[in-house]
Amino acid sequence: MKIETILLPNADIQTHFKQHNARNKHQIAQVIASHYDVLKRILPPKRKIWMSEDTRMSVFKAVSMVWLYYVTINTCKK
C-alpha cells in the first residue's frame, strides 16, 4: 500500500496564518478555535514565559496542518 505524504514546514503554516493576523502559536490556535466551536473549550490560556507549552496545543498544531493541507489542495485544483 502506498500512502501519499507531503511536507508542511512550520514556516508555511506561519505564512498562511499571517493572513489572519496570527503570528505565534497561541494566536494561530485562537484563529482555529474561532472557526471550530468544539475547539473553543480546549483552547489553553496564553502561556507565560516560565510555563511549558500546554499539551492541548498539539491538537491545534494538527488542525493547522490539516487546514494548510486543505487550502493547498484546493489551490492546486484551480
Q: Which tens digit of pLDDT belongs to each residue from 47-70?
A: 999 999 999 999 999 999 999 988
| Burial 33-53, CB ≥16 within 10 A → b, else e | beeeeebeeebeeeeeeeeee
Mean pLDDT within 38-50: 94
Residue 39 lies in a domain: yes
Residue 14 lies in a domain: yes
Residue 1 lies in a domain: no
Residue 2 lies in a domain: no
Range(s) of the domain holding residue 16: 10-77
Report whether pLDDT(78) > 60: no
Report whether pLDDT(77) > 70: no
Residue 40 lies in a domain: yes
**pTM to 2 decimal places:** 0.84
State how many domains the chain has.
Answer: 1
Q: What is the CA radius of gyration of the chain?
A: 14
